[in-house]
Structure 1
Amino acid sequence: MNADPIHFAVRLSDGAWLHEADAVVAALEAEGCAWAHLQADHHRAEDWIEARLGHLPEPVREALTAGETRPRAMHVGGGLLLNLRGVNLNPGAEPEDMVSLRIWVDARQIVTLSRRPLRTVERMADLYRAGHGPTRPGAFVALLVEWLTDRIEQAVEELDDRTDALEERLIRGDSENLRADITDIRSALVDYRRFLVPQRDVVGRLTLPRESDLLSREDLLELTESEDAMRRLVETLESVRDRLLVIRDELQGLSDARLNRNLYILSVVSAVFLPLSFLTGLMGINVAGMPGEGWEPAFWVFTGGCGLLFLVLLVAMWRLRVLRVRR
């Protein structure tokens, strides 16, 4: 199977693992239901889809191997085409760089494709290895959506907790690297909202009544719970976005207040020393007729006068509340 795009395959009815390519094909075409997971960017993936799912409309086959996808759901005959996104938990990857999972499911076969490993798919495979996997395709879809939503919920809660920590730092006055942390969270927020908003709508569409036996009443109830969770997660993301805007505005306000205070102090200092600078500049000109030029105590008298003027200016500014700067 190394030459094939198949990662693994299992028969849902008895949990039997299929290790040979011919056995996988036979199971997908036989009565009952089998699940095959494929590498989406394998060089033979498109040929495999054409050969095994050639009865599907061409847009459906292209959607299964498309390079760029967004969450979507489409009923085709008695089957269902799904494009979903899961949190990226691969080493060295960012969780918000979500992994695309392409799914075709009907009464006889479930075909999933992904370009990168997805923890939820591995968890589902482990469930079948333990002999407890869903035996119906509708139950498979409902459980897969639930687990994808659970992983997303953990990531969104972590983002919410990081925003709480930023608010606490702002209250404590710890603004070091705060802008960089805000930018990092906002970047993750943009990526999450890009996929979770349409995925919320996709899960909502799955709960609508359809003329199909693929999803039972129990499956629809579970999908309804997943839809409610997705709506709550999107609302949490919107709340995080608004809170980040408030934090950014508060941080900008603190920065502006600090700058204005420094400029105010500089203006006060300039106002105090401007008359003194004028007098020293005036008395320092080197021209004939300067008063006190031949009087020995002239320097000390002039210095004392400048000191007295300095004190007068300080008292005047204090009485005018110019020097009373609030922190």
Structure 2
Amino acid sequence: MRQTEFIYGYYFTQDDQVNKITSLENIDVCKPHWLHFDYTLPSTKLWFEKHSQLPTVVSNALLDEETRPRATPLNDGVLISLRGVNLSPNSDPEDMVSIRLWVTKNKVISTRRRTLLSTKDIASDFDNGCGPKTSSEFISVLTERLISRMSNTVYEIEENISDIEEKILISSTHSLRNELSATRRQIISLRRYLSPQREAMAQLLSDKITLFTSEEKIQLREATDQITRFIEDLDSIKDRAIVCQEELNNTLAEQMNNRMFVLSVVAALFLPLGFLTGLLGINVGGIPGAENSNAFGLFIIILIAVVVFQIWLFKKKKWF
């Protein structure tokens, strides 16, 4: 497989020298290393089947289209699946990007379909000579980068809800309802992925997994606690969104009731006027007052008097 057919490849070293893998044909499997693939490429599937020397269950998991966050110890390694927010242009952050990893003491093999900026950052660290020194440190750094970008997304969602709350106090419109619905969908989708992510992070801390040092476990525990805080924040934001939805519905309903009330008052004012003019228009035996030149003016005065009486009556009844 040529370098163009895998995304990143680096050796883990204890110094700050860049040790990049340029070809899988010449890779030194005895050295600790990281390989990152796009699992949708046919060449990737062929390499996993013919040359990876991985257990079948591991290869299948790394090439699987559908997966959920997990951390499963298997023989001398750990099969990990994590998700990160999608920060690509014109994409929704809640459309999470998954990464699958097979981690042993001496190697990390990871696969993805869409670009994950966290792995891109780690590759840049390797190029700058400051990448992770071990496979376990790689996982610790990766989870930290994933969490960091999630915090920005949760903060943006909270800001959106705050803006919507302020807009509701100023003016409530149907476009605001659409904006609120989109934010609620974003909250639900993001929380749905964070819950299993927290479980996967907790599994990494189990006694069955011995890859991590005490310091790395502290970092993983902090990342797990951070995800828990994200979930709690999302639950709080979700409750605020529900309150906003109820307030918005009440305001829009009140606006509709006010409009209907105005229309009802107008209809009530013109109902007797229409009745009187209808009586004059039936033309049975001639229109009353047709021979009197002042009849039209008197009729207008009568109509005005009727309207004034109705307005007085409505105000007395406190109908408006």
Same fold (TM over 0.5): yes
Q: Could you say which residue in structure 1 is the equivalent of 2:81?
A: 83
Preserved contact between residue 4 and residue 21 of structure 1 (Cα < 8 Å): no
Paired with 1:320 and 1:145, the residues of 2 have a C-alpha distance of 68
Q: Could you say which residue in structure 1 is the equivalent of 2:224?
A: 227
Deviation at 1:298, TM superposition (A): 3.3
Deviation at 1:295, TM superposition (A): 4.3
1:314 maps to amino acid: I
> CA 1:176–1:267 in 2, change beyond 3 Å: closer, same or farther?
closer
2:282 maps to amino acid: I
Confirm whether residue 21 of structure 1 aligns to residue 19 of structure 2.
Answer: no
Q: Could you say which residue in structure 1 is the equivalent of 2:6?
A: 6
Deviation at 1:185, TM superposition (A): 2.1
SS of 1:38's equivalent? Answer: strand
Confirm whether residue 136 of structure 1 aligns to residue 134 of structure 2.
Answer: yes
Deviation at 1:199, TM superposition (A): 0.9
Q: Could you say which residue in structure 1 is the equivalent of 2:166?
A: 168
Paired with 1:146 and 1:47, the residues of 2 have a C-alpha distance of 32
Deviations 1:165-189 (A, max 9, x none): 1111111216373123223323333
Preserved contact between residue 169 and residue 175 of structure 1 (Cα < 8 Å): no
Matched ranges for 1:1-327 at <5 A: 1-2=1-2, 5-14=5-14, 15-24=18-27, 26=28, 28=29, 30=30, 32-56=31-55, 58-173=56-171, 175=173, 177-210=175-208, 212-288=209-285, 291-323=288-320
Deviates more, 1:258-267 or 1:277-286: 277-286
Structure 1 segments of 4+ aligned residues over 4 angstroms from their partners: 289-296
2:166 maps to amino acid: E
> CA 1:294–1:89 in 2, change beyond 3 Å: closer, same or farther?
closer
After TM superposition, the score normalised by the length of structure 2 is: 0.91
Preserved contact between residue 70 and residue 198 of structure 1 (Cα < 8 Å): yes
Preserved contact between residue 136 and residue 212 of structure 2 (Cα < 8 Å): yes
Preserved contact between residue 39 and residue 113 of structure 2 (Cα < 8 Å): yes
> 5+ residue gaps in structure 2?
none
Paired with 2:101 and 2:264, the residues of 1 have a C-alpha distance of 68
Deviation at 1:19, TM superposition (A): 1.4
Preserved contact between residue 64 and residue 103 of structure 1 (Cα < 8 Å): yes
> CA 1:294–1:175 in 2, change beyond 3 Å: closer, same or farther?
closer
Preserved contact between residue 102 and residue 110 of structure 2 (Cα < 8 Å): yes
2:171 maps to amino acid: G
> CA 1:289–1:181 in 2, change beyond 3 Å: closer, same or farther?
closer
Paired with 2:125 and 2:146, the residues of 1 have a C-alpha distance of 15
> CA 1:20–1:289 in 2, change beyond 3 Å: closer, same or farther?
closer
Deviation at 1:296, TM superposition (A): 4.3
Paired with 2:287 and 2:4, the residues of 1 have a C-alpha distance of 103
SS of 2:36's equivalent? Answer: strand
Deviates more, 1:129-138 or 1:217-226: 129-138
> CA 1:91–1:289 in 2, change beyond 3 Å: closer, same or farther?
closer
> CA 1:123–1:268 in 2, change beyond 3 Å: closer, same or farther?
same
> CA 1:280–1:4 in 2, change beyond 3 Å: closer, same or farther?
closer
Once superposed, what is the RMSD of the aligned Cα atoms?
2.2
Q: How many residues were matched structurally?
A: 317
Q: Among all aligned residue pairs of Structure 1 and Structure 2, give the percentage whose two residues are the same amino acid.
A: 31
SS of 2:108's equivalent? Answer: strand
SS of 1:201's equivalent? Answer: helix
Preserved contact between residue 85 and residue 94 of structure 2 (Cα < 8 Å): yes
SS of 2:305's equivalent? Answer: helix
Deviations 1:225-244 (A, max 9, x none): 00111111122222232222
Paired with 1:13 and 1:294, the residues of 2 have a C-alpha distance of 114
Deviation at 1:256, TM superposition (A): 1.0
Preserved contact between residue 78 and residue 214 of structure 1 (Cα < 8 Å): no
SS of 1:21's equivalent? Answer: coil
> CA 1:299–1:126 in 2, change beyond 3 Å: closer, same or farther?
closer
Paired with 2:107 and 2:156, the residues of 1 have a C-alpha distance of 36
